Structure 1
């Protein structure tokens, strides 16, 4: 029942935020999404007699984003990504970072079969191919069997494969609107493409805004020598550091964070498909 409830909430949030976005096109993921929403609110307050119901919905969305951001900060401070599988109901509001870390770690260790089912229920809804779903099952098997390095090293190439097929028209190269042709390994313009979608496509994923910010700031940034201490200290794996052997990601936390972020990226790719015009280039 819990998995059905999660999907129902996801769909309800998606319908709501897409509807609000259609009324207020300015509601997009700008550089600072909260500031963008507040600008919209200030503007429509001038004509609120015509948009009362939408204002109510928008206030609810803003409140949800703020609450998720605050909860997400506490989880991330303990080294974990926020997710629909995170046991927020068990976390003491006054608990410290070490206490949260131990609680979340124990939850994933002791309840992994239930967590695995939650992942699979969500992943099965994505408009992506069976190869992705089989690969994600294998990644979950790796985690369940404590093959944590394998989880990380399996999922980054699969993200690239799916992105190549669905986002870049099957090409292994890509030319931004202003720029030189580049390889797709770093998912060029992916963050911008995600931010250009209606806000509901991001908010329909629990903690979607927090995860999108983490994606843009960490997951696919190149690892230059001055950044290495920060990248190494972060329990969320970095694609460049992982696949080039710069940092070894071998813990349960590394593995679970990769599962969470990959789940989110696949959600975004699935949601992005209706908004894309694929123009493949020569590989």
Structure 2
């Protein structure tokens, strides 16, 4: 059951006779930040603290922390990372104190204001290619439109190229890691690390982020297409547009191939 809350000066307790006392009632942060709060027991009858998580008034299934209370300490230090997805509604953590008979004595709420970072946004969705422009000309082909990229929060990345018949040389690469360049809120660049066929030397493709929101991703890079002749050069500009799609179990890395065959190089996400 969620209780009413209101802000107090200096984040002090909700009222003087509270039995479950929080050192703060409001917290603002980014996805990936750590929430920290001190819970003090204002009644010796409290023998158990139960922490639940609520989004938009609905309890989050599977999230419940039970903390035994003893006479050794009259407080508990709460720590919880703000997860991607927490920004989708009103986020509340409820701290409920129970007696030895499992009777509710008191409860207090901690309200969290969450901002989704660009890193969180990139790892929250899968990204499907919808358009490619090379040297100012539209070079989008039908075979490209089922290309889906997944940037994982552990800094690995995966590629579902869709129909292998249209994947071309993509089927020859081992896909490894990605690197985020930017601030907490805004992405400046994305680096994609892969290994060419049987190569143990990583290839790093660097993309400037032109635009990123919950719907679209626009990236820009330069490619060496001089082998195609005029007007292409060693630094031919390429712009690609991706649309955000919900992650699904249909995503299949190395589609049509055996992923076990793509491990000829040691990959260490986070070290590039």
If asked which structure has higher relative contact order (CA below 8 Å, sep 6+), I would say: 1
Point out the structure with the larger strand share.
2
Point out the structure with the larger helix share. 1
Q: Would you say same fold, with TM above 0.5?
A: no
* Structure of greater Rg: 2
